[in-house]
């Protein structure tokens, strides 16, 4: 069973993914981690990615889809947990062509909580996109404009979860639904 986990930046997707991987042995595909790895590599692609994400913007669909596809090709026989992809309807169509998405966990978190969590994470993560409230607000705006339509796209696969609680509380809600 392949699961996509969605929610605004700082919704707790990474924390929930760690718990799901530990308990259910999924192979994680984290779009954010893959982009940060490429950025850190210093490659030309990494520099291009840095200039985009450091401003709180989304990388172009084709760029991230190519990166995701390469991970899927390397691990074809696994069950996947996908974090941070798709972010657009176009990416949703691409993902559906790459794998069978069984369920989409949609974490609902308020803008206030999102900002607070990102700023807290920014203190320890060395991620410039988490340390600046204006960049966080831009990321939230981008998420609301481009990712929210995916709720209708995945309508029959969505499991909506209140993401405002502690990580353990949210995880229990998810376990009870999957």
- Averaged confidence pLDDT in the chain: 92
Taking residues 125-151, report their average pLDDT.
88
Contact (Cβ atoms closer than 8 angstroms) between residue 103 and residue 155: no
CA 49, 135, 132, 119 torsion-angle sign: negative
Residue 154: is its pLDDT beyond 80? yes
Tell me the pLDDT band of 76, cut-offs 50, 70 and 90: confident
SS3 102: strand
Closest-CA residue to 174 (of 77, 81, 42):
81
Q: CA–CA separation, 39 vs 36, rounded Å? A: 5
**What was the pLDDT predicted at 124?**
86
% the chain with pLDDT above 70: 100
Taking residues 56-74, report their average pLDDT.
88
> Cβ contacts of residue 78 below 8 Å, gap of 6+?
26, 27
pTM: 0.88
Residue 139: is its pLDDT beyond 80? yes
What letter does residue 9 receive in the DSSP assignment? T
Q: CA–CA separation, 137 vs 148, rounded Å? A: 15
What letter does residue 28 receive in the DSSP assignment? E
Q: For residue 77, report the phi and psi dihedrals to the nearest 5 degrees.
A: -90, 5
Q: CA–CA separation, 67 vs 61, rounded Å? A: 10
**What was the pLDDT predicted at 73?**
83
User: Which of these ranges, 18-22, 47-51, 128-132, 168-172, has the smallest mean pLDDT?
Assistant: 128-132
């Amino acid at each position: 069973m392949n699961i996509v986990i969605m929610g605004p930046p700082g919704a707790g997707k990474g924390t929930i993914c760690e718990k799901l991987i530990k308990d259910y042995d999924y192979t994680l595909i984290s779009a954010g981690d893959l982009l940060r790895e490429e950025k850190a590599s210093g490659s030309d692609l990494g520099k291009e990615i840095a200039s985009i994400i450091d401003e709180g913007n989304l990388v172009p669909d084709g760029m991230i889809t190519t990166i995701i596809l390469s991970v899927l090709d390397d691990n074809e026989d696994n069950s996947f947990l996908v974090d941070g992809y798709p972010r657009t309807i176009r990416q949703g169509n691409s993902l559906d062509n790459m794998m069978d998405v069984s369920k989409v966990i949609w974490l609902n978190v308020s803008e206030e909580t999102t900002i607070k969590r990102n700023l807290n994470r920014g203190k320890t993560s060395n991620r410039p996109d988490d340390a600046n409230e204006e960049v966080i607000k831009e990321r939230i705006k981008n998420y609301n404009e481009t990712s929210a339509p995916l709720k209708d796209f995945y309508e029959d696969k969505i499991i909506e979860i209140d993401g405002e609680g502690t990580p353990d509380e949210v995880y229990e809600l998810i376990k009870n639904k999957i």
